[in-house]
């Protein structure tokens, strides 16, 4: 523990290192426990990761942190799945990714090209083929000279401390979030809806365990209506 300060909703805790992902990049922060304290939120403030917890610690304390793994893993499945979808859409139809948000309802991904039903189905099929291929997902920080030689997707103009996520044979994209190690861990990718948005296309999708739960709920609903 480097610092622990009382605030309105608990205590702001700063550590020398952490595995808790802060809010950012369209993805919510990790939850979990630090010793016997609940982690209520995690944010990055001026380059420092601050954990909002419900109990006080003393500077110099050694702590044990444990993230809420199921939630983290589901978000990793979804975020990696979104990279795959956007990478495939870019390769097939030249789509640029102009927006991303991960919520409890699923993931929205905004693409720069207006797509029809057939094109969306093609993207979904090719994205799942990438999952089935179980290819490597790598995260790395290229130096400035290396960065200039790489063709990667990014919604922002980035020049330093750029973290790239590479999905072998599929995509190279700037991203700060956690991802799975192999595409097979994504499980399945399902595009639930698509609609026109500012001259392009907005996709709503779910991946992995979230996609399975969605399918189960819809099967139960169809069975109930049929009965």
pLDDT for residue 160: 76
Pick the closest to residue 138 from 113, 175, 193 (CA basis): 175
pLDDT for residue 20: 97
Asked if residues 66 and 32 have their Cβ atoms less than 8 Å apart, the reply is: yes
Cα separation values, 190 from 24, 129, 162, Å: 24, 12, 29
Q: pLDDT tens digits, the chain, 227 residues: what are they?
A: 999 999 999 999 999 999 999 998 778 899 999 999 999 999 999 999 999 999 999 999 999 999 999 999 999 999 999 999 999 999 999 999 999 898 888 999 999 999 999 999 999 999 999 999 999 999 999 998 898 899 998 877 766 789 999 999 999 999 989 999 999 999 999 999 999 999 999 999 999 999 999 999 999 999 999 99
Q: Which residue pairs, CB below 8 angstroms and at least 24 apart, start in 219-222?
A: none
Contacts of 44 (CB under 8 A, 6+ apart): 22, 23, 24, 50
Please give the angle made by the CA atoms of 91, 25 and 131, to the nearest 5 degrees.
40
Cα separation values, 26 from 18, 37, 131, 218, Å: 20, 26, 22, 27
pLDDT for residue 43: 97
pLDDT for residue 224: 97
pLDDT for residue 196: 96
pLDDT for residue 26: 79
Please give the angle made by the CA atoms of 222, 192 and 220, to the nearest 5 degrees.
20
pLDDT for residue 27: 84
The DSSP secondary-structure symbol of 68 reads -
């Amino acid at each position: 523990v480097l610092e622990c300060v009382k605030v309105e909703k608990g205590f702001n805790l700063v550590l020398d290192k952490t595995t808790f992902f802060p809010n950012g990049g369209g993805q919510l922060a990790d939850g979990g426990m630090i010793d016997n304290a609940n982690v209520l939120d995690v944010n990055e403030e001026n380059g420092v990761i601050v954990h909002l917890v419900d109990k006080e610690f003393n500077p110099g304390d050694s702590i044990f942190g444990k993230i809420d793994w199921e939630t983290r893993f589901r978000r990793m499945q979804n975020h990696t799945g979104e990279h795959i979808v956007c990478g495939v859409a870019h390769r097939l139809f030249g789509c640029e990714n102009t927006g991303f948000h991960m919520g409890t309802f699923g993931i929205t991904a905004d693409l720069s090209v207006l797509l029809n039903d057939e094109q969306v189905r093609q993207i979904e099929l090719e994205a799942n083929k990438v999952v089935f291929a179980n290819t490597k997902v790598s995260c790395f920080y290229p130096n400035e000279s290396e960065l200039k030689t790489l063709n990667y997707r990014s919604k922002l103009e980035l020049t330093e401390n750029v973290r790239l996520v590479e999905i072998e044979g599929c995509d190279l994209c700037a991203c700060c979030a956690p991802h799975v190690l192999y595409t097979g861990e994504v499980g399945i990718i399902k595009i639930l809806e698509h609609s026109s948005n500012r001259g392009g296309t907005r996709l709503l999708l779910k991946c992995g365990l979230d996609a399975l739960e969605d399918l189960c709920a819809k099967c139960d609903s169809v069975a109930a209506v049929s009965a």
